[in-house]
Amino acid sequence: MSKDQHATLGRRHQELLQIIEANGQISVDEMVQHFGVSDDTIRRDLQNLERRKLLLRTHGGAVSTALLVYRETPFLTHANAKLRIGRAAAQLVSDGETLIINAGSSTFAFAASLGSRRNLTIVTNNVALLPALPKEAIQDVYLLGGQYRMNLGSTLGAVEFSSGGINVDTAVLGVSGMTLIKGLSTTLLEEASMMARMISCARRTIIVADASKLGFDAFAQSAPLNAIDILVTDASPSEEFSQALSEANIELVVAPA
């Protein structure tokens, strides 16, 4: 590649990142039209920028990693694992489902991977999640109220609306820790009670957690291990952990590399 071609590529990457930062997300079709290049060129650009952890590719586009700022495990610490987990978990969801999703970078990656689904209803306390939701996949979004925490990008409050409680098909939840004895845990007491309520209002619960969370016990206990139905992670847990999941009838999904 010539020096001029390198310069052109660098300028396009810089402008592409500026557009995504300004809008939160953008589609491949929009980028093709804006830059006047081919689909393949844009997809190579996105692959390059994702490898550099400057954006997150989604189904048909990309979102900004600037949205992924969380207090306990910054997204970029386990970026590749969370992308894989999010994409694997999205495959477990069917068209037309109602999902409740909590705050976290793994759940963000999950939401951004829903582009091949249709007619989904989303209930969430995760304000930062909204720009990542693929418009073509979503029918309605309901945002839970309460105290807005700037460092979380989410609200903390009751899992209900003015009309009363809710029932959903699937809860997709990120956790700070998960152990065989104490189950699911997080770093805030208020968040732990929200997670417990999200689980109780769902017909099934999917936990999305990278391997660093398994065997770690965070501050606030939320729910026992047998409260969940599926664990999606990025690496096979220990034999003891796997056996305990099997005995609790919890499906283990290891995201493919």
* pLDDT confidence of residue 88: 96
Same domain, 116 and 203: yes
- pLDDT(42) > 50: yes
Cβ partners under 8 Å of residue 22, min gap 6: none
- 51-84 pLDDT, tens digit per residue, is 887 887 877 788 776 655 544 445 455 777 888 9
- pLDDT(1) > 70: no
The share of the chain scoring above pLDDT 90, in percent, equals 61
Same domain, 116 and 34: no
Same domain, 85 and 34: no
Number of domains in the chain: 2
* pLDDT confidence of residue 227: 97
Domain with 39, as residue range(s), is 3-65
Give the span between the Cα atoms of 122 and 107, in whole angstroms.
12
Same domain, 241 and 172: yes
Same domain, 169 and 198: yes
Same domain, 175 and 210: yes
Residue 82 belongs to what H/E stretch? helix 79-90
Q: Average pLDDT of 191-220?
A: 96
Task: Specify the higher pLDDT residue, 152 or 12.
Answer: 12
- pLDDT(205) > 50: yes
Last residue of a domain, one of 65, 82, 97: 65
Same domain, 78 and 192: yes
Tokens 């997300």 belong to which residue? 25
Q: Average pLDDT of 131-142?
A: 91
Same domain, 138 and 246: yes
- pLDDT(118) > 50: yes
Same domain, 120 and 243: yes
Last residue of a domain, one of 38, 65, 92: 65
Could you tell me the strand order of the sheet in which 202-208 lies? 138-143, 120-124, 98-101, 168-174, 202-208, 230-233, 251-254
Cβ partners under 8 Å of residue 121, min gap 6: 97, 98, 99, 138, 139, 140, 141, 142
Last residue of a domain, one of 45, 65, 85: 65
Same domain, 58 and 97: no
Tell me how far CA of residue 185 lies from CA of 15, 193, 195, 203, 242, in angstroms.
41, 10, 9, 20, 19
Instruction: Specify the CATH number for the domain of residue 51.
Output: 1.10.10.10
Highest mean pLDDT among 43-52, 71-80, 153-162, 180-189: 180-189
Same domain, 73 and 91: yes
Cβ partners under 8 Å of residue 106, min gap 6: 82, 85, 86, 174, 208, 209, 210
